[in-house]
């Protein structure tokens, strides 16, 4: 398949990001031919047609099932609200198409595992939209940890803090309803943090979670009535990785002042690395070697010596942006489809993330440590 033909569903926040990446990937990564932005679906023909013109797609439809039924489409790209992921992914798999799906993969861990197994059984390539881990500096941090540059790792601290729902007057959306979103901050933000933790330190064995709803009702923008918020605004957890390393997670969609506070610190006997997505072109590194009088954190700026930076820009310190992470993710997907590299994070990783989320919820409900199923 020289130029995979994409059918993209959903043109909201992340659908646009995917479309931008599909258009850019061939220009950025000269190794590849650009994919074909073929069919765009949204919930109405008018919305889809307008978006297709703006986003460089050849055709549009108001019915996502057209994407599945169309033999010209090789890859289905799912960018719709959470509750639609499962039905759309299973339909794409049944049609023998490769599937690229936004997080969370499904509403429950069982559903997520079922989708991953179905994709394997059909022999299609599957990939999750966990774009933050495509940051060249996160790849560098992973290399430093794996190479032992931080010594023995003994603790992880991670957070994902945003304030998109911190205003009590912010309207009720599908993200507040369990049957549409699944969990709250955990599914929306925590899924990224868990995937990032997996990348750096491997699987999580057990958790002790705590959930908090700060704003119990919100105003429905259509009816004007107050509606219940059915999932958590904040999740906290003590975690223990399979390696025995302990850690902490803090995840919030009501963290006033934080816009994209996806952070981590990895502590080792020889050094520490830390990162904050709001300063996504900087990795802070403390090296415990050397004279105490010269000790301190140094800031590593992203540059062409880090994986995947150079195709965007030959100069260090000029920086990448959020959308560039999606371009790297799409390149990874195209490589996987071409059989050049394994797909990761695949749907099994999506399901593994979902099991950690569910364990945190279970632990919060039972006020006890909870094992994460293998």
Q: Is 345 in the site for ligand NAD (CB under 6 A)?
A: no
Q: Is 79 in the site for ligand NAD (CB under 6 A)?
A: yes
Q: Is 81 in the site for ligand NAD (CB under 6 A)?
A: yes
The whole-angstrom separation of Cα 38 and Cα 58 is 5
Least distance between ligand NAD and beta carbon 134 (Å) = 10
Q: Is 202 in the site for ligand NAD (CB under 6 A)?
A: no
Helices and strands (DSSP H and E) totals, the chain? 11, 17
Q: Is 222 in the site for ligand NAD (CB under 6 A)?
A: no
DSSP 3-state percent helix, strand, coil across the chain (nearest 5): 35, 25, 40
Could you say which of 5, 7, 8, 15 contacts ligand NAD (CB under 6 A)?
A: 15
β-bridge partners, 283? 275, 300
Least distance between ligand NAD and beta carbon 361 (Å) = 17
Could you say which of 7, 10, 136, 345 contacts ligand NAD (CB under 6 A)?
A: 10
Q: Is 265 in the site for ligand NAD (CB under 6 A)?
A: no
Q: Which among 25-33, 81-89, 247-255, 344-352 is the span making contact with ligand NAD, rule CB under 6 A?
A: 81-89
The whole-angstrom separation of Cα 145 and Cα 134 is 16
**Closer residue to ligand NAD, CB minimum distance, 45 or 373:** 45
Q: How many residues bind ligand NAD (CB under 6 A)?
A: 21
Q: Is 354 in the site for ligand NAD (CB under 6 A)?
A: no
Q: Is 196 in the site for ligand NAD (CB under 6 A)?
A: no
Could you say which of 9, 24, 199, 200 contacts ligand NAD (CB under 6 A)?
A: 9
**Closer residue to ligand NAD, CB minimum distance, 176 or 245:** 176
Q: Is 307 in the site for ligand NAD (CB under 6 A)?
A: no
Least distance between ligand NAD and beta carbon 234 (Å) = 17
Sheet containing 126-129: order of strands:
59-61, 36-41, 5-9, 75-78, 98-102, 126-129
Q: Which among 31-39, 73-81, 142-150, 352-360 is the span making contact with ligand NAD, rule CB under 6 A?
A: 73-81
Least distance between ligand NAD and beta carbon 138 (Å) = 14
Of 20, 261, 84, which is closest to residue 159 (Cα–Cα)? 261
β 246-252/153-161 pair status: parallel
CA angle 299, 301, 302 (to 5 degrees): 145
Q: Is 324 in the site for ligand NAD (CB under 6 A)?
A: no
Could you say which of 13, 223, 292, 339 contacts ligand NAD (CB under 6 A)?
A: 13
Secondary structure (3-state) at 98: strand
Of 210, 204, 228, which is closest to residue 218 (Cα–Cα)? 228
**Closer residue to ligand NAD, CB minimum distance, 80 or 183:** 80
| Alpha helices by DSSP H, the chain | 13-28, 45-55, 65-69, 85-94, 109-122, 136-146, 178-181, 185, 191-201, 322-337, 347-366
**Closer residue to ligand NAD, CB minimum distance, 43 or 212:** 43
The whole-angstrom separation of Cα 112 and Cα 139 is 26
β-bridge partners, 99? 76, 126
The token pair that represents 261 in the structure block = 């506070």
Compose the 108-137 pattern: x for residues touching ligand NAD by CB under 6 A, - for all others: ---------------------x-x------
b/e per residue 101-133 (b: at least 16 CB within 10 A): bbbbbbbbbebbbbbbebbeebebbbbbbbbbb
Roughly what angle, to the nearest 10 degrees, separates helices 191-201 and 136-146? 40
Could you say which of 41, 119, 334, 372 contacts ligand NAD (CB under 6 A)?
A: 41
**Closer residue to ligand NAD, CB minimum distance, 245 or 333:** 333
Q: Which residues contact 282 (CB under 8 A, 6 or more apart)?
A: 137, 275, 276, 299, 300, 301, 302
Give the footprint of ligand NAD on this chain (CB under 6 A). 9-15, 41-43, 64, 79-82, 84, 102-103, 129, 131, 188
């Amino acid at each position: 398949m020289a130029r995979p033909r994409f059918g993209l569903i959903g043109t909201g926040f992340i659908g646009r990001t995917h479309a931008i990446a599909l258009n850019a990937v061939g220009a950025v990564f000269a190794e590849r031919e650009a994919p074909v932005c073929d069919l765009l679906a949204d919930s109405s023909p008018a919305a889809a047609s307008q978006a297709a013109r703006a986003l460089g797609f050849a055709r549009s439809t108001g019915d996502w099932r057209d994407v599945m039924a169309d033999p010209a489409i090789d890859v289905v790209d799912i960018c719709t609200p959470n509750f639609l992921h499962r039905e759309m992914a299973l339909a794409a798999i049944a049609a023998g198409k490769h599937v690229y799906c936004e997080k969370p993969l499904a509403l429950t861990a069982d559903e997520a595992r079922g989708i991953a197994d179905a994709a394997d059984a059909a022999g299609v390539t599957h990939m999750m939209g966990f774009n933050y881990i495509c940051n060249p500096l996160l790849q560098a941090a992973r290399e430093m940890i794996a190479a032992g540059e931080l010594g023995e790792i003994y603790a992880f601290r991670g957070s994902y803090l945003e304030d998109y729902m911190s205003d009590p007057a912010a309207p009720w959306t599908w993200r507040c309803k369990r049957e549409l979103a699944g969990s709250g901050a955990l599914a929306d933000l925590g899924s990224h943090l868990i995937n990032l933790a997996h990348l750096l330190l491997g699987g999580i064995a057990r958790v002790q979670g705590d959930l908090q709803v700060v704003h119990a009702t919100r105003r429905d923008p259509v009816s004007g009535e107050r509606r219940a918020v059915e999932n958590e605004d904040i999740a906290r957890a003590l975690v223990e990785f399979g390696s025995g390393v302990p850690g902490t997670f803090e995840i919030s969609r009501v963290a006033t002042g934080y816009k994209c506070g996806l952070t981590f610190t990895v502590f080792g006997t020889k050094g520490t690395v830390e990162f904050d997505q709001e300063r996504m072109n900087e990795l802070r590194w403390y090296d415990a070697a050397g004279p105490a009088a010269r000790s301190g954190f140094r800031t590593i700026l992203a540059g062409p010596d880090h994986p995947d930076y150079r195709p965007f820009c030959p100069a260090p310190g000029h920086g990448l942006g959020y959308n560039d992470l999606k371009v790297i993710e799409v390149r990874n997907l195209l490589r996987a489809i071409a059989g050049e590299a394994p797909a990761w994070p695949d749907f099994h990783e999506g399901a593994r993330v979902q099991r950690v989320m569910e364990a945190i919820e279970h632990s919060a409900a039972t006020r006890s440590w909870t094992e994460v199923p293998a």
